[in-house]
Amino acid sequence: MNKRRLSYGLLVTLAAAGFIAGCGDSTPEATTPPQPTAAATAEPAPTVAAEPPAPTVTAAPEPPPPPPKPAKDKWVGNFVQDFSGDVLNTADAAAKKKAGKKDPDNKKYNAAMDKAKAAAGDNTVVNTGDTFTWSVKGKPAHTVAFQIVKGDDPSSLALKFTKDGKKVLKTPIDVSVSFTDDNTFSFKDPFAKKADSAQTLVFKRQ
C-alpha cells in the first residue's frame, strides 16, 4: 500500500517538473518603445503675416499763383528815379566828354557819374489813384491830377494828365506807363520841352 502511494506521488512530481521545463519562463520580454524622430519632435515654424505695402505719400497740390496785379494798383505808392536807361546813357556820354582824354585814373569820369546818379536819386514821385506828385530834393515840382484811361492790364497803364497844381492843362498830356514788375515802371518824361526827344525815365518803389 505504501509503495503504490509513493509511486503515484513520484509520477505526479515528475510530470509537474516536465511541464514546467517545457513551458519555460512565462514572463514577457521587456520591449523598448520607438523613439520619436527629430522631424516629429520639431515644432512647426510660426507663420509670419506679410506686412501690407507702405501707403504712397502724394504731395499736396500747390495752390495756383495769385493773378497778376492790374497796373492801376501797381502805380500807387512811393517811387524814386533809377539811374538806368536813357538817364544813365546820357550821363555816361556827358561824363566822358567832361573828363576828356587826360583822365588816366577815371577820377573826373567817376566824379561826374556819381554827381549824375545823386541827381537822379533826388527825383521822387508819390502816386495815388488820381494824383501824381513829382518832387525834386523833397520839394514838389509837379502836382498833377490825372484820369486813368486804361489800367486793368498788368504791364501797361494809360493816363491823361489834366491839371498841374492850380493850372488846368489846355491840352491834356497823354502818358503811357510800362511795368517790368510790380515795383518798377517807366515812361517818357511828360514834362520834357520836346516830346520827340524826351528821355525814358525809370522809377523803382521805395
Q: Where are the domains of the chain?
A: 71-81+123-205
- Residue 129, pLDDT score: 93
Q: Residue 100: which region, alpha, beta or left (left: phi > 0; alpha: psi -120 to 50)?
A: left
- Residue 8, pLDDT score: 47
Query: What residues of the chain score a pLDDT lower than 70?
Result: 1-50
- Residue 63, pLDDT score: 87
Percent of the chain with pLDDT over 70: 76
The model's pTM is 0.69
Contacts of 145 (CB under 8 A, 6+ apart): 130, 131, 161, 162, 163
Rounded-to-integer distance, Cα 91 and Cα 116, Å: 6
Number of H helices, E strands in the chain: 5, 8
Strands 200-205 and 139-150: unpaired
